[in-house]
Amino acid sequence: MLDTNKVYEISNLANGLYTSTYLSLDDSGVSLMSKKDEDIDDYNLKWFLFPIDNNQYIITSYGANNCKVWNVKNDKINVSTYSSTNSVQKWQIKAKDSSYIIQSDNGKVLTAGVGQSLGIVRLTDEFPENSNQQWNLTPVQTIQLPQKPKIDEKLKDHPEYSETGNINPKTTPQLMGWTLVPCIMVNDSKIDKNTQIKTTPYYIFKKYKYWNLAKGSNVSLLPHQKRSYDYEWGTEKNQKTTIINTVGLQINIDSGMKFEVPEVGGGTEDIKTQLTEELKVEYSTETKIMTKYQEHSEIDNPTNQPMNSIGLLIYTSLELYRYNGTEIKIMDIETSDHDTYTLTSYPNHKEALLLLTNHSYEEVEEITKIPKHTLIKLKKHYFKK
């Protein structure tokens, strides 16, 4: 694979001319030029090669043209807005001796013109040893990319109540997935496209997981009491205004990813294998989008003591960051899956704590049947000076 943090110039092996596009036209054709041409400064010669699934690339204008990408039009090449549904924007770049063959998704290869067509590039059938079909990729600039951090492989166990009835239901979020997303696939309303590719060619996509309290699941029970309750799970955010229109994917009810083409363009369909593997999220087998849901449940207290119970869910947070040396969060969405719902409970020591204000440990043990060593811990925890 070619370096993903390089800006390249692409020149033909046979004639030494460079692929270029006119700076002031968003849908200019791609042609061949010499660096000695008088008006060369009016043309873009720099290209960013964004890797996508299946060992292909999106060849993107780096100098200007609002991040326009190579696009096949009949047998010629122009630059147009990136679309995740446009197969003629996908290119395979194959090593050939010390140069490369650039092949379209339609099987044709990039070929330099000859004679009166010297400045033209077309797609033609591949012919072995034809130097007009061989290209030099010369790195001319290096982009700073973030280093991949350590990824946690296993989520910590859910919180449990201590003997004193103390619990923090939310665990520290653990980084469980991390990957880079090409800027052409991200709709970032805060910066324009030309600034985007020069300052943030790649965005950082992260996945965090943690345990947290399920809303509505905190229940107090008397001895031998049975109660029903409703707890919430899912996501509270409107996915269309967050994740769908930002990166072109949605989270469905099975917590899997489904890739959609956003109304505003872009989208991550071309790197769906990368995303599911690096973020460790499955493809969705459902059609229903994740939203906020309520689940009905029941609990009973079989003991002779009052009891408190809470439900815990595994929460997944998907977060997208703009990166220009520092990280700036531009999107996040949080979901929870009811299949992870777990109960934890503890005796309600309210009566014992009240008795300990004016009774001995032995007296309270006799009344409540709570062991003395537990009462000592309770008093030490709740009556700290």
Distances (CA, A) of 42 to 8, 25, 64, 281: 18, 10, 10, 45
Are 243 and 318 spatial neighbours (Cβ–Cβ below 8 Å)? yes
- Specify if 135 maps to a domain: yes
What integer pLDDT is reported at residue 24 of this predicted model? 67
What integer pLDDT is reported at residue 317 of this predicted model? 97
CATH number of the domain residue 355 falls in: 1.10.10.60
- Specify if 267 maps to a domain: yes
Same domain as 293, residue 234: yes
Residue after which a domain boundary falls, among 98, 127, 142: 142
Cα(149)–Cα(204) distance, rounded to whole angstroms? 11
Same domain as 245, residue 114: no
Torsion of CA 33, 34, 36, 38, to 10 degrees: -10
What integer pLDDT is reported at residue 384 of this predicted model? 46
Same domain as 70, residue 82: yes
If we measure between CA atoms, which residue out of 189, 176, 196 comes closest to residue 50? 196
Q: What range does the domain containing 21 cover?
A: 6-142
Are 77 and 12 spatial neighbours (Cβ–Cβ below 8 Å)? no
> Which uninterrupted H or E stretch holds 43?
strand 43-44
Cα(273)–Cα(282) distance, rounded to whole angstroms? 10
- Record the tokens describing residue 271, joined without a space: 């790197």
Are 171 and 210 spatial neighbours (Cβ–Cβ below 8 Å)? yes
What integer pLDDT is reported at residue 327 of this predicted model? 95
Name every residue whose Cβ is closer than 8 Å to that of residue 385 and which is 6 or more positions away in sequence.
none
CATH number of the domain residue 106 falls in: 2.80.10.50
Distances (CA, A) of 348 to 5, 136, 163: 58, 74, 11
What integer pLDDT is reported at residue 381 of this predicted model? 60
305 CB burial (10 A radius; 0-12, 13-18, 19+): middle
**pTM score of the predicted model:** 0.88
Q: Encode burial over 259-278: b for 16+ CB neighbours within 10 A, e otherwise.
A: bbebeeebbbbbbbebbbeb
Cα(229)–Cα(233) distance, rounded to whole angstroms? 13
Same domain as 42, residue 127: yes
pLDDT in tens, 120-178: 999 999 998 899 999 999 999 999 999 999 999 999 999 988 766 788 999 999 999 99
Cα(57)–Cα(72) distance, rounded to whole angstroms? 14
Same domain as 293, residue 182: yes
- Longest CA span, the chain: 106
Q: Which phi-psi region, left, alpha or beta, contains residue 297 (left: φ > 0; alpha: ψ -120 to 50)?
A: beta
What integer pLDDT is reported at residue 385 of this predicted model? 32
Residues of the chain under the 70 pLDDT cut: 24-26, 163-164, 378, 381-385
If you ran DSSP here, which 8-state letter would residue 197 be given? H
Are 93 and 19 spatial neighbours (Cβ–Cβ below 8 Å)? no
Distances (CA, A) of 257 to 74, 247, 267, 283: 35, 12, 13, 5
Are 299 and 343 spatial neighbours (Cβ–Cβ below 8 Å)? yes
Same domain as 276, residue 133: no
Residue after which a domain boundary falls, among 125, 142, 159: 142
When divided into structural domains, the chain yields a total of 3
- Specify if 155 maps to a domain: no
Q: Which residues pair with 362 in a beta bridge?
A: none
Cα(114)–Cα(120) distance, rounded to whole angstroms? 8
Same domain as 372, residue 316: no
